[in-house]
Structure 1
Amino acid sequence: MSSLGGQPILILKEGSQRTRGRDAQSGNIAAAKAVASAVRTTLGPKGMDKMLVDTIGDVVITNDGVTILKEMDIEHPAAKMMVEIAKTQDDEVGDGTTSAVVIAGELLKRAEDLLDQDVHPTVIAHGYRIAADKAQDILNEIAIDIKPDDIEMLKKLAETAMTGKGAEAAKEKLTELVVKAVTMVADADGTVDTEYVKVEKRVGGSIEDSEIVEGMIIDKERVHPAMPRIVKDAKILLLNAAVEFKKTEVDAEISITSPDQLQMFLDEEERMIRGIVDKIVASGANVLFCQKGIDDIAQHYLAKAGILAVRRVKKSDMEKLARATGAAIVSSIDAIAPEELGKAGTVEEKKVSGEEMIFVTECENPKAVSIIIRGGTEHVVDELDRAIEDALRVVSVAVEDKKFVAGGGAPEIELSLRLREYAATVGGRAQLAIEAFANALEIIPRTLAENAGLDPIDMLVALRASHEKGGANAKYMGLDVFNAASGDMLKAGVVEPLRVKTQAVSSAAEAAIMILRIDDVIAASKSSAPAPGAEDMGDMGGMGGMPPM
């Protein structure tokens, strides 16, 4: 609202709210810190879980940062930015979501202290940018190279990603499944698309019953009971066309005047379907996966020919089948030919937890594989699924980047020390912001200690001391939460891909800078919809003695 010669002028709609200056900053920072503190207790191997209940009473039990933030119904705009950090981290790397959010929250907390000392927000933002760039350089410097065929190290990476996610009981088994899956689907140029690892969840049995299938599992059953349950030495046809008679493209009416004409019409339909089945049989295929429908008559003829057929297979599953078996997806009945077929040792229909599934196994060089996860309850299976997804992404990132760092808060302590040294060389007010950035990174080892029930100050002092000592392994010294002491994380096998750290630091810094630079929040009023028909009635209150509505 502005005033012109004593006359108030309204610029914003009535009911709009405006907060500016320090009030706006502290409101945004408080909201972002609240989000960070919500997920902070889940960090690390001793982190706790959250139970989230939605409006219809569905329960999710997890300690995966991004899942918690997605399930929480967050309203505040600054808090939503924190959720975006977690989503970006999850899309890019698959792990480290909690770390990224916690670092962003701490960066804002440290910035608030500087704002209280009258340091301008743009100075803090500038310092944070310099610090984030320097941090990337230091991380690249302390990273260790890994070969894509170093299976032991890849297993350790997968194990670190799964630790604290309810998968400890069968860690050995699951890490083996994950590393095997990633190394099988990896392309020759070192890229890994985890889309080609299909994860199927089944409640029943124990975690130990989880297995990898070197091929595909399709959550469907045979279309006809007379079809064979198992086909050895399978020749597989992938068809993206319906096995039924063609309907006319345009609306057409066929007038039939006598019963024998009707019979001829029906016989011709059957002959057309018979012709399609004959083409499939002639190609030598003994297994058919169809993306569309299979007519009842066609099912009968396919069963008589001893072909195992599955219909309405998802497009994504068809693509994975093509990769696993080497078949081409055929889009036209006329294009069916022997050279389009794929091969598999066995195609079999099996019952898993009371449901029929088709297993395509013994493929020659499957570039698409499946993992079946088993567990006692639905919540256990869901959390295992999240842990395996994280581990798959982490291992694939390590295979692609060929670099990793030690875990357990070791890189954060090293960054903190090196950034403090660097701050002294920068000078000016930016130095304060770089120091604040360095201090903020220590939130990771501090939180790991708190969540393990240890004294955070004692642990931080011990960690700093072991890093300052110098020596070949000083930069790998992190918090060993099981022995309540600082230890060599590389020896302990607590390792993470380099990208987990670089992405977490850069996205946390970007979000903190963005929130810091906001000094004015203009919120529109919540529009309440008028009652139906009310807009036509105008204000009838007091009209001719009518009661106000």
Structure 2
Amino acid sequence: MAGLTNAPILILKEGHKRETGKAAQHKNIMAAKAIAEALKTTLGPKGMDKMMVDGSGDVVITNDGATILREMDIEHPVAKMIVEVARAQEDEVGDGTTTAVVLAGGLLDNAEELINIGVHPTVIVQGYKAAQQKAYEFLEEMAVSVSKEEREILKKIAGTAMTGKGIEIFKEKLTEICVDAAAAIEEDGQVDVEERVNFVKIGSGSVKDTELCEGVVLDKERLNPDMPKKVAGARIALLDSTLELKKLSTDAKVTIKSPESLSSFREGEDEVLREKVDAMAKVGANVVFCKQGIGAYASRYLANYGIIAARRVSDEDMKFLALSTGGKIVTDPLEMAGEDLGSADLVRERKVGKEKKMIFVEGCHGAKAVTVVIHGSSEQIRDNVERALEDALWSVATVLGSKKIVPGGGAPEIEVAEKLRQYASTMSGRDQLAVRAFADAVEEIPLNLAENAGFDSIDALVNLRSSHGAGNKTYGLDIETGKPADMMKQGVVEPLKVKTQAIKSGTAAATLVLRVDDVIAAKVEGLKPKPGQSPHDYTRQPMMPPMM
């Protein structure tokens, strides 16, 4: 038995693969850095675009970090972790995804160097967390307060978020739309972009025709050509029930013994619909939006009353209609009251493009939801405009909530890096190495801004450090000249919360990766044919998941 003491003990099933120690850490860091490398060339107003082609051949061209990550088909588990953290950044503040991923890549790159010289990952994580808290303090110190009345500053915030999306020629109009939309739905400093702003894209006209509708735009036509094309002073009924004849079930029986009985039966059904339409007209409704069907009989009655109606309106559109018009969604029209009706200055059917028609609900005073109607000659242009408007709206919403901004152009990163190095010099032990590594990683942002704009990144970084050393803490990179300039005077400003969230997300991603020192990958089993089926029905074979 003594000869068996050195036999290997197997605790995993055959086919499992395991990486441990520095080998696992190295591969994990490489996977995370690969994501950062893919995104860093898109950073800034002069960042490059990525072309994403899916399995069906559909193409998306964008430099929006969140969109790129969403479209990437990622397999490595650590790379997926980075993507999830980046999505948290997008969900929280709607912008700064690329910054967060580039920061995470820089933190991991510098951490790998420290690991190679013998610094334990736990020490690096502790140092990074200490640096993260100090970075928050330094950013807060350089932040400037702003109120919702400072419209020009809000426009500058929206403009900064839009820059680099390929729509700069229309920036003035689009920033106006963003600020107007945010102001319309703001409640106690909160702007819910996801739930209160609807984007409708129309394949006609130019981007300059893009407009804000303080109401709702429905991809619907009026139900009956005899209905009016527009109604001023609209009183809007929102109905979650059907206005059509009910179909009998397959086992239902109706006994009709004479032609008169058949006529009476039909008239009875007809009368039910007439009563429902009469009830809505009686409380003053002149517009009806129905979530379910509206039959021919009801359509005719509605037209006779001069009511515009649309049927099979989606759940989302009904929600926006209720928020915009102040109406209440009612299930039984016979119980509808005047206070249940929404209101709008105008409801009209408009022709958009050569053949398409849509219903516009406009002039909803006190609307809690708005619609941005995006025009453009191609789907790619319209998608870019939507992404730019969404980013800008999120930035304005974030500022209205936090009421603080910082200069852009890499100025906050340079200032934070300089102060972190001063902080590191007060520390003893190996933690200070991690804090310095954090400072170097933060400077990846201005470095990439300069490089993507075609300037020498080292020269740009040295000049920015010199400016901040002289006390010019609002100086960032002038993207046109490559020289330091006062970002506040140039109107290049960003929400404070976007910066703090990017540091939070980037640090979280990096520390998650650094704390993993063992990766156990299970064998992926192929599908096996059932008895009687051909093996050729299945093409998957047992395989090992790639570690890289």
Shorter-chain TM band: over 0.9
* Pairwise CA distance, 1:256: 3.4
TM-score, normalised on structure 2? Answer: 0.94
Aligned counterpart, 1:545: none
Report deviation, 1:432: 0.4
Further displaced range: 505-514 or 189-198: 189-198
Q: Secondary structure at the match of 1:496?
A: strand
**Cα deviation per residue 1:9-63 (whole Å; 9 max; x = unaligned)?**
4321221110111110000000100100001100001101111110100000100
Q: CA RMSD in A?
A: 1.8
1:375: which partner in 2? 376
Q: Which digits, 9 at most, give the CA deviation of each residue in 1:379-400, with x for residues without a partner?
A: 1111111111111111011111
Residue 323 of structure 1 aligns with an amino acid whose one-letter code is L
Quote the residue 2:539 is aligned against: none
Q: Which residue of 1 aligns with 2:446?
A: 445
SS of the aligned residue for 1:475 comes to: coil
Give the Å deviation of 1:366.
2.3
Q: Which residue of 2 aligns with 1:334?
A: 334
Shift of 1:259: 3.8
> Residue 5 and residue 205 in structure 1: after superposition, are their counterparts in 2 closer, same or farther (change >3 A)?
same
Aligned to 1:322: 322
Letter in 1 for 2:153: M
- Counterparts of 1:339 and 1:260, CA distance in 2: 41
Q: 2 CA distance for matches of 1:504 and 1:230?
A: 48
Partner residue in 1 for 2:515: 517
Distance in 1 (CA, whole Å) between partners of 2:259 and 2:16 is 75
Matched, 1:274 2:257: no
| 2:502 maps to 1:501 | no
SS at structure 1 position matched to 2:473: helix
Distance 2:4 2:218 in 1: 72
SS in 2 for 1:420: helix
How is 1:423-438 mapped onto 2 (pairs within 5 angstroms)? 423-438=424-439
2:546 corresponding residue in structure 1: none
Corresponding residue SS for 1:90: helix
Separation in 2 of the partners of 1:269 and 1:535?
Answer: 54
SS in 2 for 1:356: strand
The residue correspondences of 1:325-404 to structure 2 (distance < 5 A) are: 325-353=325-353, 354-404=355-405
- What letter matches 1:436 in structure 2? A
Change (3 A) 1:251 1:339: farther
Give SS of 2:484's match. Answer: strand
- Spell out, residue by residue over 1:315-351, the C-alpha distance to the aligned partner (whole angstroms, 9 max, x if none): 2222222222222222222321222212211110001
Work out the CA distance in 2 between the residues paired with 1:4 and 1:27. Answer: 34
Per-residue Cα deviation, 1:478-524 (whole angstroms, up to 9, x for no partner):
00111210000011111110111010001110110110011100000
1:183 is matched with 183
CA distance in 2, matches of 1:444, 1:219: 42
**Counterparts of 1:163 and 1:445, CA distance in 2:** 16
2:487 matched residue in structure 1: 489
Range with greater deviation from structure 2 (274-283 or 404-413): 274-283
Equivalent in the alignment of 1:40: 40
Query: Which stretch has the larger CA shift, 398-407 or 312-321?
Result: 312-321
CA distance in 1, matches of 2:143, 2:425: 24
Name structure 1 gaps, 5 residues minimum: 538-549
Corresponding residue for 1:542?
none
Q: What code does the residue aligned with 2:210 have? A: S
Using the TM superposition, give the Cα deviation of residue 248 of structure 1 relative to its aligned residue in structure 2, in angstroms. 8.0
How many residues are aligned here?
531
Q: Percent identity?
A: 53
Secondary structure of 2:81's counterpart equals helix
1:414-440 per-residue CA deviation (whole Å, 9 max, x = no partner) reads 000011111111211111000100111
Listed one character per residue, the Cα deviations across residues 189-239 of structure 1 (whole Å, up to 9, x for unaligned) are 121111212111112211111111122211111111111111111111111
Q: Secondary structure at the match of 2:12?
A: coil
Deviation per residue, 1:511-539 (Å, 9 max, x gap): 101100111000001111123328999xx
Match of 1:461 in 2: 462
Deviation, 1:272, is 0.9
Task: Look up the match of 1:162.
Answer: 162
Q: How far apart are residue 365 of structure 1 and its match?
A: 2.6
- Alignment partner of 1:303 is 2:310: no
Task: Give the match's secondary structure for 1:360.
Answer: strand
Is the Cα–Cα contact under 8 Å of residues 85 and 508 in structure 2 kept in the other structure?
no
Q: Residue in 1 aligned with 2:530? A: 532
